[in-house]
Amino acid sequence: MFTPPLKITFLGTGTSSGVPMIACDCGTCCSTDEKDKRLRSSILVESDTTSIVVDTTPDFRTQMLRAKVKKLDAVIYTHPHKDHLAGLDDVKAFNYFQQQPMKVYANDITQEALKREFGYVFSEKKYPGIPDIQLHKIEDTPFVIGDISIVPIQVWHLHMPVLAFRFGAFTYVTDANRIEQKEKDKIKGSDVVVVNALRKEKHLSHFTLDEAINLVDELSIPKAYFTHISHQLGLHKTINEELPGHIQLAYDTLVIIS
């Protein structure tokens, strides 16, 4: 399917605790550089007619206000960890202004978590003022929202299957530390890839900085941005200068056209 030009906005680029982290006085958390202030990881994907957010973080309300989002057509979820779900309640503002349920796309394990952790939203007896959600299941096949087609890609976050998404020539991979070959093949040919790169030290369920660089090079993607960054990675400016030219750390409010 034809993919229109897409505008990608980084709504958040931090790991689950955000940067600065509560009560931390490390150099990164004390930095006055705006690029060292990272809300939890999420992107906004927009064509001229369609707006989609990937994940509703605990910072979702702040992110929607900061990016001045006036219309949202759908939410698509990567996986059920709290830093990717917690902001769901605030889609109620879009219900109010758009006068329709919010389309929410998720795989089985994320749908189970949504029903468990937001029981009141899915209850038989609803009270006024809560979100109105229309659930759609993400299968192993491409799907379309408005004029944007989306290819789900399954990656591994230790033992948890996580969905990455390809929108035309743009691919977003958060929360992963391993990708099987057949899924890597779905990323190949992208012009731009976003990959999680938590920190330099080894981690159980996230790519390190070096592992993320190796993935970009293995797949021969010409341009890459790293996200889901921990305060432990260090200062944005310092780390960015160490990276090869075609790879940069993403930062909150960064916009790219793909």
Q: What is the binding site for Zn ion (CB under 5 A)?
A: 21, 24, 26, 29, 81, 83, 175, 231
Smallest gap, in angstroms, from Cβ of residue 111 to Zn ion?
A: 16
Q: Which residues contact residue 181 at a Cβ distance below 8 angstroms, ignoring those fewer than 6 apart?
A: none
Nearer Cβ to Zn ion (159/182): 159
Torsion sign over Cα 139, 141, 146, 149 = positive
Nearer Cβ to Zn ion (47/227): 227
State how far the Cα of 86 lies from the Cα of 109, in Å rounded to an integer.
15
Nearer Cβ to Zn ion (47/110): 110
Smallest gap, in angstroms, from Cβ of residue 99 to Zn ion?
A: 32
β-bridge pairing 160-167 and 148-157: antiparallel
Nearer Cβ to Zn ion (4/161): 161
State how far the Cα of 203 lies from the Cα of 18, in Å rounded to an integer.
17
Smallest gap, in angstroms, from Cβ of residue 230 to Zn ion?
A: 8
Nearer Cβ to Zn ion (46/83): 83
Cis? peptide before 101, omega within 30° of 0: no
Nearer Cβ to Zn ion (148/212): 212
In sequence order, what DSSP letters do the residues of 61-123 get, joined into one string?
HHHHHHTT-----EEE-S---HHHHTTGGGGHHHHHHH-SPEEEEE-HHHHHHHHHHTHHHH-
Smallest gap, in angstroms, from Cβ of residue 59 to Zn ion?
A: 12
Smallest gap, in angstroms, from Cβ of residue 22 to Zn ion?
A: 9
State how far the Cα of 2 lies from the Cα of 243, in Å rounded to an integer.
33
Smallest gap, in angstroms, from Cβ of residue 55 to Zn ion?
A: 8
Instruction: Report how far apart, in Å, the C-alpha atoms of 157 and of each of 87, 108, 128, 204 are.
Output: 21, 16, 37, 8
